[in-house]
Structure 1
């Protein structure tokens, strides 16, 4: 089967702002699930180069391999072939290296970074007036940057122009052109990146030095990108053993001893027909306790289950000796994850401004269950509420008064009293007062005071007492909304500056002993939706995923999922819904998305359309 490479987003060499796709001359051959990229068609050696179109994303797991350079290929063909080889499924970029000189092959480090461009790399030949070319031929690769994946496989959105110089020389003996100055790392268009890479959550544990005061260890997701058709299981195991990414490292720990790696000579990891994956480790892991070994196996199993669901059991070896094994029940006994903690109820404020609840997951036999007031003063008291938050154990709740001025905390027990507000804002207008609060896994309550005269992020230990001011170095703007993740070490903030509202995720660092006065800060805020001009509302919707409602500049409101690293997860966005003012999600995928829209409270059961719950309700939340 022959096919021109008419890609789905590759901005090719030589297509500098023309707005027209030049059909690529490269030929792809598909047979037995393998596609070969041929990037060596004859081209002129002056003027603009033709397009390197991105390979369309395949619906089936077709593996793509590049063709080596043809005999007597022109410099333009060499650059073309090299760029196409970067998008192939060669495990170690063997074919791409064939376009390089022997010296460049030794120096080039494809694992250093992957630069993602909006429309693929374009290139210009550098004219003699621009650079002396007596020693070879120069090209400048150009494009618009979208993201960079670093050496730790961590994704980060970026912007600006990409410009890298490529130099070719002609071998004096063979007269063959080869690249002696390749671009740094790997570069490709967005659609090729989406075809080549897959996001995976590695799992670590909340740090012992900053341990959370909860009865069980908490697992924290650390998203990375691995090449999807180049033995991803082995890639992600190596990545897990190498430790957490730089951003998350200060607040997590690993159970693997320092220096733990796969046993020398291990090339590929494959589960057997029982769904068991044997992971042979070096002797660094040979003397761990049984409890620590189970924690190591839990980390591996949590990590692998979102990449290879067929893995049911992990069996660890060290220096070729059996260590321990763990299945799903064993792993869940070691640590808790937000994505497996199912909430009992969906909560919201009804038309009488009181807190009500209903089952989180609709009963198939009783899809029209009616909301009921929660026990306690927030459900049957005399305080009119604007927004609410329910603790993760669903024993406590917090409510902000209708005018946004006062924060109340009460138990969800019949007959419980409310008492005086724990916080009062002095902001002049409602939008300059208190945000919707949020509970963390320790049972502490977070809220921001938006008073322009004294904007603050505050934390109430166990929802009571004098609030602790949370330091926010690097925060540029005023907090409009906040949600703490189920893992207790990350927080999502909607930050308002001027006329723009942006979503950031920060790392929560806690200093001092549990039970004593502790310093708390939110550090290294990262933008997760740089393309959105306005973020209306958001909620955590997984261990490393959020659901966001917002709009791009000049665009219309949209609801979509984003990863905490700013990338877009695979899968369709939620069904369209107009006029969304607030959204609520659980980290558990089986719990329906809920929203406050023009139709009041609605929710989205799996496989269905949005369904009306309460026409007069507002402020929907799940615990957290």
Structure 2
């Protein structure tokens, strides 16, 4: 630690030292307070920079291991220091690439086995939190228990210790404090639908890709964000979303003044009206929703010249049309004695038109299409099983679209394009029914689900992501790739896994947030999880046992067991209120989700 203190004194700035690490944390750029790091530039993010120092001959083995970990935290800004902690042979073979392992703060260290003085093994034991992948995806750890890493150190001719090997091989190891110091969660916006040069983006819809970006002292954070946007989506959305920015395009600079943000690009481009609409949407939403534009006009340039025409190409506030993100406004419904009824803000309403509004005992787990024109349901044994559909109209009638036993088919889920999806557990396959084609259900390839016990399948409202429950204890999220003509499900990753608990239901709030109803032996919880990085919030519980949930935007409805009623979560009061208490209310419904 003496080296860290000498460094701090020499720099004449306020220094926060990490005990035993041989590292110091100082504000980047000079002697100013930490909360002003970034120089007041609204397009920058405050952060602290790790200043690593090489190992000292007098350091004990434990100090060397702690110093190595600190040098890992500083690697992105000072890559040369880390190799000084390694033996020459280890420095030639060790690589910092691969996922970044994130562990809880204050890991434990201990000497392992006997030491002859020239070789020492120190074991680090820490609680794993997440991985940050090479594509900037933040993946929460879903396993159980701590991890341990053995560091083998040897003494050199001068009496100092260096690391000869690390048990888990290559890759950086950071604490949560390291990540909070140097990374920022960031929303990137891409266009719904598969990528391709001929895509017209006619639907004009955006999809959020949430990544974690490292703050760089060499450029403002707005430039970091645009640079990452041009690289394309993370692997979670590969093949499921597109971008107007072609390969080979780069960002020269992003600068700002009081009224505008100027994005200067370089590379091949052949704009037209549809292209420029998509460019406006991707850039404006990405900059604004990361607090980089803050309502200012965005001007796009190409190699310092006006983009697209001889006049300045600007993106104004009114170019951020809400329809690019889809609507979070939709009527709410619930089921009473098998009939679908509307649910107003204050009280229950009337039954919907047609067969879906008639009492019956033949159908369960009802779902409503986009716009509310169609209702789908899983048939009970009395109905002969299968998935049934009816129009919400006086002349509508129930028709069986998909055959199968009730227990073998997951509750139906509508896609925004009008197709209906379910999982056939008896045959281990995803089924999709497209009424426009006039054909029966088709199988959809989903190799990531092969051999799994899929118990629910829900398509997100943006029509891009899919959530499934596996057994009673796991949720996985994937994406619809391949386009409408030959779709497939891929890119599946575990979102959450529970132990000694059971997942009772799932529901999409929107395209990036999934609600999960979890039941333990004595309690329940509803967890809101961002599918991009697994960040989770637990909502306040109710003393009533919930059976199912449905959500849209900020609204969340739930049906209770026992005395059947519909509850709504009040955001302002952070509590549950009864909406329908008729003793037979069930199955709350919003369109899609």
Instruction: Tell me the alpha carbon deviations over residues 19-66 of structure 1, each in whole angstroms, 9 at most, x when there is no partner.
Output: xxxxxx9x999x999752244489xxxxxxxxxxxxxxx999974444
1:115 is displaced (CA, Å) by 0.4
1:458 aligns with 2:458: no
Whole-angstrom distance in 2 between the partners of 1:564 and 1:448: 21
- Of 89, 99, 106, which aligns to 1:113? 99
Could you say if the C-alpha distance between residues 381 and 32 of structure 1 is closer, same or farther in structure 2, counting changes exceeding 3 Å? farther
What are the within-5 Å matches in structure 2 for residues 170-319 of structure 1?
184-190=170-176, 192-193=178-179, 196-205=182-191, 206-208=193-195, 216-227=203-214, 232-263=221-252, 266=253, 269=254, 271-274=256-259, 276-285=260-269, 287-289=270-272, 291-308=274-291, 310-312=293-295, 313-319=297-303
Instruction: Tell me the alpha carbon deviations over residues 311-361 of structure 1, each in whole angstroms, 9 at most, x when there is no partner.
Output: 33432222112323324542438x7324xx1232012112x22011234xx
* Matched-pair contact (CA < 8 Å) for 1:34–1:63: no
Whole-angstrom distance in 2 between the partners of 1:467 and 1:86: 52
Could you say if the C-alpha distance between residues 542 and 105 of structure 1 is closer, same or farther in structure 2, counting changes exceeding 3 Å? farther
* Matched-pair contact (CA < 8 Å) for 1:435–1:449: yes
Worse-superposed segment, 381-390 or 542-551: 381-390
Partner of 2:569: 604
Return the TM-score normalized by structure 1. 0.74
C-alpha root-mean-square deviation of aligned residues, in Å? 4.2
1:422 is displaced (CA, Å) by 2.3
- Of 537, 540, 554, which aligns to 1:575? 540
1:445 is displaced (CA, Å) by 0.8
Could you say if the C-alpha distance between residues 325 and 165 of structure 1 is closer, same or farther in structure 2, counting changes exceeding 3 Å? farther
Could you say if the C-alpha distance between residues 117 and 418 of structure 1 is closer, same or farther in structure 2, counting changes exceeding 3 Å? same
* Matched-pair contact (CA < 8 Å) for 1:157–1:567: yes
What are the within-5 Å matches in structure 2 for residues 439-518 of structure 1?
439-450=414-425, 452=426, 454-462=427-435, 465-475=439-449, 476-496=451-471, 500-510=472-482, 518=485
Could you say if the C-alpha distance between residues 410 and 519 of structure 1 is closer, same or farther in structure 2, counting changes exceeding 3 Å? same
1:536 aligns with 2:536: no
Whole-angstrom distance in 2 between the partners of 1:195 and 1:38: 13
**Mind listing any 5+ residue stretches in structure 2 that lack a counterpart?**
23-33, 37-44, 308-312
Whole-angstrom distance in 1 between the partners of 2:199 and 2:359: 33
Return the TM-score normalized by structure 2. 0.77
1:560 is displaced (CA, Å) by 0.9
What secondary structure sits across from 1:152 in the alignment?
Answer: coil
* Matched-pair contact (CA < 8 Å) for 1:509–1:521: yes
1:212 is displaced (CA, Å) by 10
Could you say if the C-alpha distance between residues 41 and 277 of structure 1 is closer, same or farther in structure 2, counting changes exceeding 3 Å? closer
Worse-superposed segment, 610-619 or 68-77: 68-77
1:547 is displaced (CA, Å) by 0.9
Could you say if the C-alpha distance between residues 113 and 485 of structure 1 is closer, same or farther in structure 2, counting changes exceeding 3 Å? same
1:251 is displaced (CA, Å) by 2.2
Partner of 2:494: 527
Partner of 2:390: 410
* Matched-pair contact (CA < 8 Å) for 1:221–1:544: yes
- Of 551, 561, 567, which aligns to 2:528? 561
**Mind listing any 5+ residue stretches in structure 1 that lack a counterpart?**
1-24, 43-57, 363-367
Partner of 1:48: none
Could you say if the C-alpha distance between residues 210 and 283 of structure 1 is closer, same or farther in structure 2, counting changes exceeding 3 Å? closer
Whole-angstrom distance in 1 between the partners of 2:506 and 2:197: 27
